[in-house]
Amino acid sequence: MIKAQITNLKNEAIGEILEINEEKTLEEIRAKFLGRSGKLNQLTKEIPKLAPEERKNIGNLISETKRTIEDALWQAKDKFRKEKNKEEWLDVTAPGIKPPEGHLHLVTEAIREISAIFEGLGFQRSRYPEVEWDWYAFEGLNMAENHPARDVWETFFIEDFENEKYGKGILTPHTSSGQLREMEKYRPPIRMLNIAKCYRRQSDMSHAPMFYQFEGLVIDKNINISHLKGTIDYFTKQYFGPDRKSRIRPYHFQFTEPSFEVDVTCLICQGKGCRTCKQGWMEIGGSGMVHPLVLKNGGIDPNLYSGFAFGWGVERVLMMKYGIEDIRLLFEGDLRFLKQF
């Protein structure tokens, strides 16, 4: 009878050991079967009650059962330790996990690329104030007092900020104000690239109250339209790609004469015409030969020197390069959008 109890006890212990799935349960099983008050000790107390000829056999059987249970507990514990070590094991020679890595904002990258292109043509980067006087932004650029651009619904005027000589204070609406400042600062030859923030009362898919613009200005003797067109062609192929083409078409700007709008072949249809561009061309910005009055206001003799200028939005050329349809995406900081570039 006691032999059957010992055998059942051994099978019960082995069965419980095989079923556990965490190491801490092993100690509970050890206490249950091998502890001072465990089931195996309770059977050991029955040995003195047995006949003398049975005591030795039963004692050996209990000792063998104890060793079997201890071996099963040790193997289970070793198994858990190996699994734990496997999870925590570190190969110091293995490549590490790279942390998330960002990149420069698209507008910053575009500014750097644009600067590098024009530096290759001898242009020098200039910086001029974002808070400007009316003279540099309008009056000195041949814009009449009633010109629509000087309306309060177009330009941000600053209250109680006025200069007797230069007029009202404004947030500069275009980088063209840098033309007069450059002429005042340097004598020809001039090759200026002014990149700065501009401000206008406009907000939609293609306009923002604050945006970046880059202004090119060249003044020297015998400068003509062919120099302007060559510069535009060079920029177009360097920035948009060798397959893109540019064209100029007559327009009107107060500070250039003659004036031109600049178009670039559509990114989507490559100039064939599609639903986006309609005729194969997309407008990039304005340009023209510097107006003689503007040269005079800058202190340069228009009878000796001529020049050309162009002013384009950084975001605009960026959007045309990558086919981005909404300028607001560039300023929202949405990583789902920015990570695509």
> Are residues 112 and 239 in contact, defined by beta-carbon separation less than 8 angstroms?
no
Q: How does DSSP classify residue 36?
A: T
Report how far apart the first and last C-alpha atoms of the chain are (Å, whole number).
81
- The alpha carbon of 275 is separated from its chain's Cα centroid by a whole number of angstroms, namely 29
Per DSSP bridges, beta strands 131-133 and 157-163 are unpaired
The stretch 274-287 carries a mean pLDDT of 80
Distance separating alpha carbons of residues 221 and 113, to the nearest angstrom = 29
What is the DSSP track for 206-269? TB-SEEEEEEEEEEETT--HHHHHHHHHHHHHHHT-TT--EEEEEEEETTEEEEEEEEEE-TTT
Q: What is the pLDDT of residue 331?
A: 83
Residue 306, token pair as written in the block: 């001529």
Q: Which tops the pLDDT comparison, 188 or 95?
A: 188
Q: What is the pLDDT of residue 109?
A: 92
- The alpha carbon of 216 is separated from its chain's Cα centroid by a whole number of angstroms, namely 27
Phi-psi region of 271 (alpha: psi -120 to 50; beta: other; left: phi over 0): left
3-state secondary structure 277-298: CCCCEEEEEEEEEECHHHHHHC
Q: How confident is the prediction for the chain on average, in pLDDT?
A: 83
Q: Give 50-100 pLDDT, tens digit per residue.
A: 677 776 777 777 778 778 878 877 877 777 776 666 666 667 787 878 888
Distance separating alpha carbons of residues 244 and 164, to the nearest angstrom = 48
Q: Give 284-293 pLDDT, tens digit per residue.
A: 889 999 999 9
Q: What is the pLDDT of residue 125?
A: 93
Of 86, 166, 179, 169, nearest in space to 128 by CA: 179
41 — pLDDT class (breaks 50, 70, 90): confident
The stretch 219-231 carries a mean pLDDT of 96
Q: Name the 3-class secondary structure at 23.
A: coil
Is the CATH number of domain 106-338 3.30.930.10?
A: yes
* pTM score: 0.68
Of 159, 314, 148, 290, nearest in space to 220 by CA: 290
Residue 152 pLDDT > 60: no
Q: Which tops the pLDDT comparison, 231 or 332?
A: 231
> Are residues 258 and 290 in contact, defined by beta-carbon separation less than 8 angstroms?
no
Residue 5 pLDDT > 80: no
**Span of 57-66, 154-163, 184-193, 329-338 with lowest mean pLDDT:** 57-66
333 — pLDDT class (breaks 50, 70, 90): confident
Residue 189 pLDDT > 60: yes
